[in-house]
Chain A
Amino acid sequence: METVWFVLVALMLAGYVVLDGFDLGAGALHLIAARTDEERRLVLGSIGPVWDGNEVWLLAAGGTLFYAFPLLYASSFSGFYLPLNMVLWLLVLRAIGIEFRAHLANGLWRDFFDGVFSLASLLLIVLFGAALGNVIRGVPLGADHYFFVPLWTDFRTGPQPGALDWYTVLCAVVTIAIIAQHGALYLILKTSGELNRRLRTIANILLPAVVALTAASLWASVGVRAELLDNYRATPAGWIIPVLVAAALIGIFRFTRSGREREAFLSSCVFILTMLVGAAFALYPVLLPSSGDPTLSLTIHNAAAGARSLSVGLGWWSAGMAVAIGYFVLVYSLFKGKVHLHSNGHL
């Protein structure tokens, strides 16, 4: 049962990264790719009706994590206290950046909120990337299952690391490239004309960076935590995951070149999804590794809620998520195709 919840929570988080990833990426590129007020309204219009729903995946995943693995929720949220609170502030800023911008037709007002939105999006990507790096590298868990990481110490991955060290910064940089590309591919799908051409150029520049940085981060990950390969050795079928990652990268390359915008974006979704599945597969059954004594790691066994809670939860979770996916199909099907100005109230 713990394994089922591990898979569900991992899928929800992966769903969050794939979905909110494209609007975060669009945000990071907002100031660079979209120059005029019209173009910026197109970018915002491309994510306007969906970004809020995408972000709900984070809340729903957080709530589900809280329910299924209360100790992991408690330990990691308090241990990553400072970066997590910064994430919360950035989520506040980003949301008001998107939502308050349109209320005034004033150039300064709009420039201000464009800047808030874009900068907050970029910093969120940095923090999320570093967070993933922290989970892979491990944290200084104590015998009481708790820890506290400062923002940084000496930038080394020793037993007492900070939230930022060379490895997690690398992860943040990789994440910027991947998520920015994801956002660019989404915006290409939703726009046309000059903006579309500029985004293609950006995507073409980002792709080699994504490939090189992904390779570097995988190599660094195994260097930081050699145990990551244990599950792949024990279950060789797992090697299908990196094969899919590579296939998705090739897909992004081929489909971008041939102008098949939808397929290129979907390849990017598969790329992100398989990267995260690969990480989750490598960590299992560990949820949060210890950077010191490995027996102190939080696992699905010592961090799960009571057996009764886990079995009861499966019912309402499945029902709720089935309905939620229904809403997503509805909203995305109402919102398919290219965005044009004045086609909805967001513009």
Chain B
Amino acid sequence: MGEALFIHRLHFAFTVTYHYIFPQLTMGLAPLLVVLKTLALRTGNPVYDQATRFWSRIFAINFVAGVVTGIPMEFQFGTNWAKFSELTGGVIAQPLAMEGVFSFFLESAFLGLFLFGEKRLSRIAHWWAGFALFLGTWMSGYFIVVADAWMQHPVAFNRLPNGSFEVQGFSGVLTNPWALVQYSHVMSGALITGAFVMAGAGAFYLLSHRAPEFGKMFVRIGVIAGVIATILQIFPTGDIHGRYMAEYQPASTAAMEGLFHSEKGAPLVILGQPDVEHQRIDNPLVVNRLLSFLIYGTPTAEVDGLDHFPRENWPTSIPLVYFAYHIMAGLGTIFVAIMGLALLLLWRGTLYGMRGMLWILMLAVPLPFIANTAGWLTAETARQPWLVYNLLRTDQGFSANVSSANGLFTLLGFMGMYAMLSIFYLFLLQRVVDEGPEASA
């Protein structure tokens, strides 16, 4: 039982973590493609069309990887989390089914038109195809966040006599305030990925002394989008999200911050390792009273530590929650510094020639993927031991009829499949980057 639960958790964690590598780039690049396409329309300069074609090729490969790793997710609620699905399907499947009906059909129709229709459609119609694609990917993200937000902060439901949940009305679940906050945080996170990838590619071309016209364009658009997104990520979206957590999931906040004991004027732990056995932070680097200030706006407010909550309601792995959160928040802060500095240099007109800064932009490309992954890891592990916060525990939700051996068998299968997919993905992307935007004339 314990082993089966662990395997089912790992199964979902692995497949969804791997999956989210791709959609964050899809959702991050889609608005930038619209920006490029708009610049092409407004300036009439064909280099923007060429740039759009280049990024469309990357977008297409990435989109395929996102689709094929996303399909298993839609089914995995039933295969590995049957009891959870049985009880919550009347609520949680509303956004999931709506994603299929409203987003996937839209995306599937307009992806082909956008990728292959440039010569057949008018310039305006082609812009609209790109816009529809952007809309589809961002709607898709909303429906998924709505499903997760309901698990984080269940609203607008009735509980039936058999223990299952049903919606109270059409809009209650869709307008969950938690979903609005989480969505804005997730989407600015995706935009950060798109911006860093575009700026990083531009830096690569400038550093390799190739296609300088495109290198400068990618760096410029990437840095401007990156500054906006990295700031939005912290303020207001991250800030409000943190306060929501503190208000509605106080035990999660205590685990994220590594706060074992309730304190007036609680410190913010910047670095250190949580020692759960002795209930303290080893090698701490802290800023006194800052946590109280960030949550309540006053440095002397009392923040509940883990000791305030019954042990069986503590997140299952405090160190994992703590590290995931600190990686996310630490990288988020570094992103503001990188993009802020790059913008300053761009404004002063020295960025394109400053190889040190270009190296930083190029090498930073993997970091937003890590930060986004760590962010989701924080959200999902901090919610433990609950599937639906305070209502349904994780050990009550998995498929008890699927043995740990069968779970492990398919987990290994997915690992093999995704290892192969990774190789093809990187190989094909490398080819597109190597051929370069010059080849997309």
* Chain A residues engaging chain B, CB cutoff 8 angstroms: 48-49, 52-53, 55-56, 59-60, 62-64, 66-67, 69-71, 73-79, 81-82, 84-85, 88-89, 91-93, 95-96, 99-100, 103-104, 145-148, 305-309, 312-313, 315-317, 320-321, 323-324, 327-328, 330-331, 334, 344-346
Distance in angstroms between the alpha carbons of A99 and B62 in the assembled complex:
11
Give the chain B neighbours of A99 by CB distance below 8 A: 60, 64
Report Cα–Cα, A299/B336, bound state, in Å. Answer: 56
CA of A78 to CA of B85, assembled, Å: 10
Q: Flag the segment in B44-52, B166-174, B243-251, B315-323 that touches A.
A: B166-174
Do A103 and B431 have beta carbons less than 8 Å apart? yes
B389, CB-defined interface residue at 8 Å: no
Interface residues of B (CB under 8 A from A): 60-61, 64, 67-69, 71-72, 74-75, 77-80, 82-91, 93-94, 96-102, 104-106, 108-113, 115-116, 120, 158, 160, 164-170, 399-403, 406, 409-410, 413-414, 417, 421, 424, 428, 431
Contacts of A147 in B (CB 8 A): 401
A150 to chain B, nearest CB (A): 9
A73-B85, A88-B75 known; A308 vs B112 contact (CB < 8 Å): no
Bound Cα distance from A287 to B92, whole angstroms = 21
Known A96-B424, A327-B105, A327-B106: A67·B94 in contact at CB below 8 Å: yes
Task: Give the residue of A70, A76, A331 whose beta carbon is less than 8 angstroms from that of B90.
Answer: A70
Choose one: B80, B101, B116, B168; the contact of A60 (CB below 8 Å). B101
In the bound complex, CA of A309 to CA of B71 (Å): 24
Name the CB-closest residue of A to B407.
Answer: A81
Question: Chain B's interface: helix, strand, loop or mixed, by majority?
Answer: helix
Count of A-B contacts judged by CB separation below 8 Å = 215
Chain B residues contacting A328 (CB-CB under 8 Å) are 105, 109
Contacts A63-B97, A66-B89 known; A77 to B109 CB distance under 8 Å? no
B112:A146 contact, CB within 8 angstroms: no
Q: Closest CB of chain A to B381's CB: distance in Å? A: 24
State the CA gap A100–B88 with chains docked (Å): 37
Chain A residues in 8 Å Cβ range of B94: 67, 309, 312-313, 316
Residues of B within 8 A of A84 (CB): 75, 79
Most buried by A among B93, B400, B417, B421: B93
Are A63 and B83 in contact, with the CB atoms below 8 A?
no
Residue of A nearest to B168 (CB): A308
Q: How far is the CA of A80 from the CA of B77 in the complex (A)?
A: 13
Known: A62-B75, A84-B75. A78 touches B82 (CB 8 A): yes
**Which A-B residue pairs are the 5 nearest by beta carbons?**
A70-B89, A77-B78, A306-B166, A63-B97, A320-B101
Minimum C-beta distance from B188 to chain A (A): 27
CA distance A104 to B102 in the complex (A): 33
The CB with the most chain B CB atoms within 10 A, among A75, A104, A306, A328, is that of A306
List 18 A-B pairs, Cβ < 8 Å: A52-B67, A56-B100, A56-B104, A59-B71, A60-B97, A62-B74, A63-B98, A67-B93, A71-B86, A77-B77, A78-B399, A82-B409, A92-B72, A146-B401, A312-B167, A312-B169, A323-B102, A327-B106
CB distance from B25 to the nearest CB of A (A): 16
Chain B residues near A305 (CB-CB < 8 A)? 89-90, 93, 164, 166
Of residues B88, B166, B406, which shows the largest number of chain A Cβ atoms within 10 Å of its Cβ? B166
- Tell me how far the C-beta of A81 lies from the nearest C-beta in chain B, rounded to whole angstroms: 5
Asked if A62 and B100 sit within 8 Å, CB to CB, the answer is yes
Q: Specify which of A60, A79, A96 is in contact with B68 (CB 8 Å cutoff).
A: A96
Give the residue name and chain of the B residue nearest to A320 (CB): B101
Contacts A78-B79, A305-B89, A346-B116 known; A63 to B101 CB distance under 8 Å?
A: yes
B116 neighbours in A (Cβ, 8 Å): 49, 344-346
Given A56-B100, A308-B166, CB of A81 within 8 Å of CB of B406: yes
Besides A100-B428, A308-B158, 14 new A-B residue pairs in contact (Cβ under 8 A), listed by A number: A63-B74, A63-B96, A63-B100, A70-B87, A78-B78, A78-B79, A78-B399, A82-B409, A85-B413, A93-B417, A99-B60, A316-B101, A334-B113, A344-B120
Residue of B nearest to A73 (CB): B78
